[in-house]
Amino acid sequence: MKRFLGFVKKEFLHIFRDYRTLFILFGIPAAQILIFGYAVSMDIKNAGIAILDLSHDEITQKLTDKIISSGFFKRTENLLHYNDIDRVFKKGKTKAVIIFEADFGKKLVREGKASLSIIADGSEPNTATLVTNYTMAIVNDFTMELAVPALNNSIRIQPEVKMFYNPNLKSHFMFVPGVITLILILICALMTSVTITREKEFGTMEVLLVSPLRPIQIILGKVIPYFILSFINVLLILALSWLVFGLPVKGSIILLLAECMLYILMSLTLGILISTVSKNMQQAIFISLLGLMLPTILLSGFIFPIENMPKVYDYVSMILPPRYFIVIIKNIMIKGTGLMYIWKETLILIVMTLFFIGLSVRKFKIRLE
């Protein structure tokens, strides 16, 4: 036991001596959360729109105010002619133009319908879709309000779309769980595989092998320090996403942390497995980055929904641990469900962890090749 503790102590010394490792451990996750949360944001906030009001009546004024005051848009300009549309898009600040036809208010009152056009800047398809969807939602809402007192004899049914778990469709809510999933597997697997292959490269593994340390002690000795640090990392990420994005944890925080621990352990053992098959640090880094990062981003359901993938990718993604963890973490953080709904995924992660530990201990060479 004393031997083992000595080994763990040495590992901690390695980590704290190496500023780069510390930076990778704590700097990158924080940076990733902020980058993904802000830069890759899928929300619209203060998107520029221009108004071309050919009617200028009370109703168009009210509707315009409603749109502008929603918080999603800000008015860049009031246009006077159709000819101005092209010019205002070319300036780049305006993402969409809303056009009220002439006599909009009169037609609406008299005939019960009036036309409104939304012209969006298609060079940014993502924003364009979002802007039109948001605008249409606001317009629908407005007609509903208008319809009730004005035409209470005919009931118009308007489809109302409401997001259940992410009512404002805030994309941080989608990204934070994904980023946690990605960062943990990447850092844990990368760090452990690199520290073990470093011992091989510097020749210190030779002496460790000759020492009375048992393989399981060497493996656990490598795992424990990173386990503790990664766990601190999880707390850091959760605190950061709560403070910066106001992302709450709807479910049990204890359950969430326990699931994170399981996932960290799984990633660490995966890293050890990588180190047993790679001969040097470069190889270990290569396998960890290429073998884990890309599949996690592309296939785990982090960005692209698994349901929309071809069946083949669906099957491939089944062997990826992140796929299951994403389900778990989204369930707990956003839906607030309990273990009842995620026991299957949890079980799969546990089995994977045991499998990796077993394989690592078996593949860990007690001799040189």
Partner 1 sequence: MQNVIESSGISKNFGTTKALNDISFSVNESEIFGFIGPDGAGKTTLFRIITTLMLPDEGEIKVLGMNCTTDYKELRKNIGYMPGRFSLYQDLTVEENLNFYATVFGTTVEENYELISDIYSHIEPFKKRAAGKLSGGMKQKLALSCALIHKPKLLVLDEPTTGVDAVSRSEFWDMLGKLRQHNITIIVSTPYMDEAMRCDKVALIQDGKILAIDAPQKIRDGFSRKLFTVKSVEKYKLINTLRKYPMTLTAYPFGDSVHVTFINDMVDNSLFGYLIKEGISDVVVQAAEAGIEDRFLELMNKTE
Least distance in angstroms from the C-beta of 25 to partner 1: 16
Site for partner 1 in 284-323 (CB under 8 A): none
Instruction: Mark 349-368 with x for binding to partner 1 (rule: CB under 8 A) and - for no binding.
Output: -----------------xxx
Enumerate residues 172-211 that contact partner 1 by CB under 8 A.
Answer: 202-204, 206-211
7 contacts partner 1 (rule: CB under 8 A) = yes
Q: Which residues pair with 47 in a beta bridge?
A: 73
Q: Is 17 in the site for partner 1 (CB under 8 A)?
A: yes
- The least distance separating partner 1 from the CB of residue 40, rounded to whole angstroms, comes to 36
What x-and-dash track marks residues 204-243 binding partner 1 by CB under 8 A?
x-xxxxxxxx------------------------------
Residue 39 or 368 having the CB closest to partner 1: 368
- Residue matched to tokens 């007192």: 149
Question: Which of left, alpha, beta for 57 (phi over 0: left; psi -120 to 50: alpha)?
Answer: beta
Q: Is 154 helix (H, G, I), strand (E, B) or coil?
A: coil
- Rounded to the nearest whole angstrom, what is the least distance from the CB of residue 245 to partner 1 in the complex? 37
Total site size for partner 1, rule CB under 8 A: 25
Judged by CB under 8 A, the stretch of 7-15, 49-57, 152-160, 309-317 that binds partner 1 is 7-15
The residue (of 13 and 228) whose beta carbon lies closer to partner 1 is: 13
Of 5 and 277, nearer to partner 1 (C-beta) is 5
Helices (H), the chain: 2-17, 19-22, 28-34, 58-69, 84-91, 104-111, 125-150, 172-201, 204-210, 215-245, 253-277, 281-288, 294-299, 311-317, 321-330, 339-363
Q: CA 95, CA 346: separation in Å to the nearest integer?
A: 44
Which residues touch 82 (CB under 8 Å, ≥6 apart)?
Answer: 52, 99
The contacts of residue 273 (CB under 8 Å, 6+ apart) are 356, 359, 360, 363
Q: How far is the CB of 365 from partner 1 (least distance, A)?
A: 10
Q: How many whole angstroms separate alpha carbon 40 and alpha carbon 295?
A: 19
Q: Give the footprint of partner 1 on this chain (CB under 8 A).
A: 2-3, 5-7, 9-10, 13-14, 17-18, 202-204, 206-213, 366-368
